[in-house]
């Protein structure tokens, strides 16, 4: 809630007694740490540190998970729990597609085809 208040009105947050600079630095540090961990997980999944292909089209999976969670693409209110449920649905689909033997190159297209129907 502090991060949201700083993003909406930093001056009012400062007047309310929040340490705006400290919270901003902590949030950026946390985002950097989680991005580093995600990079390690992706590179271990691909079994290489290929900067050109690792994580390719992963942003589309994130958007699909959020939309499956009930968030409108036009903006407005969102549900974090719904987004997590959407991510779990995407991961379940990915695991199922891999377990039935579909080649990894065609997993993204088959997931999107399933979710669009």
Average pLDDT over the chain, rounded to an integer: 79
% of the chain at pLDDT higher than 90:
10
pLDDT at 30 over 90: yes
Overall average pLDDT of the 92-112 stretch: 74
- Contact residues for 84 (Cβ-Cβ < 8 A; gap 6+): 69
């Amino acid at each position: 809630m502090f991060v949201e208040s700083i993003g909406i009105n930093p001056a009012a947050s400062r007047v309310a007694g929040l340490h705006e600079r400290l919270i901003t630095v902590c949030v950026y540090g946390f985002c950097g740490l989680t991005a580093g961990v995600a990079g390690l997980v992706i590179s271990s999944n691909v079994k290489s540190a290929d900067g050109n292909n690792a994580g390719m089209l992963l942003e589309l999976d994130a958007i699909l998970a959020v939309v499956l969670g009930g968030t409108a693409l036009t903006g407005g209110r969102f549900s974090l729990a719904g987004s997590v449920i959407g991510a779990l649905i995407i991961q379940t689909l990915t695991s199922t597609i891999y377990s039935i033997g579909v080649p990894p190159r065609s997993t993204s297209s088959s997931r999107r085809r399933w979710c669009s129907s």
